Every structure is written in C-alpha cells, then in structure tokens.
C-alpha cells in the first residue's frame, strides 16, 4: 500500500543520490494513487450534483403542492 499522508518515503542512498529504480517505483505508485483519487473526487462531485438537482426538484414539487 502507499505511504500514509504526511510521512516521507525512504530511499536507499547510492553513490550518486537515491536509487533511481526505487524513486521511479515510488513515483509510479503515487501517480496511480492520484488517478484513483481523481476518479473518486469526480464521482463524488457527480453525486453531489445529482443530489442538488434532486433537492431542487423536490423543492419545486413541494412548492407546487403548497400552491
């Protein structure tokens, strides 16, 4: 699984910086997680939009019934 938010990923130090393969793997995991989080966010926005539309329709029906 991924590293919890707010924690640093640890990479092995090699002769010239960090191990490139470890960094590449970590970036790939993070990019995949971003894709999933964006999809979750988009789905939540769609649900919120539908709920707002449903609420507006219900208010309209209630106003019609009260008239």
State the pLDDT at residue 3: 64
Cβ pair 32, 39 in contact under 8 A: no
State the pLDDT at residue 35: 99
State the pLDDT at residue 39: 99
> What string of pLDDT tens digits covers the 67 residues of the chain?
466 666 788 888 887 888 999 999 999 999 999 999 999 999 999 999 999 999 999 999 999 999 8
Domain map of the chain by residue range? 16-66
CA angle (33 as vertex; 30, 37 as ends), nearest 5: 135
- E strands, 1-67, where? 13-14, 17-18
Closest CA to 38 of 26, 30, 28: 30
Cβ pair 18, 12 in contact under 8 A: yes
């Amino acid at each position: 699984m991924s590293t919890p938010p707010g924690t640093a990923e640890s990479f092995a130090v090699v002769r010239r910086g960090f191990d490139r393969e470890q960094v590449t793997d970590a970036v790939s995991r993070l990019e995949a997680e971003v894709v999933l989080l964006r999809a979750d966010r988009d789905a939540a926005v769609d649900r919120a939009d539908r709920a707002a539309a449903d609420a507006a329709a219900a208010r309209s029906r209630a106003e019609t019934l009260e008239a």
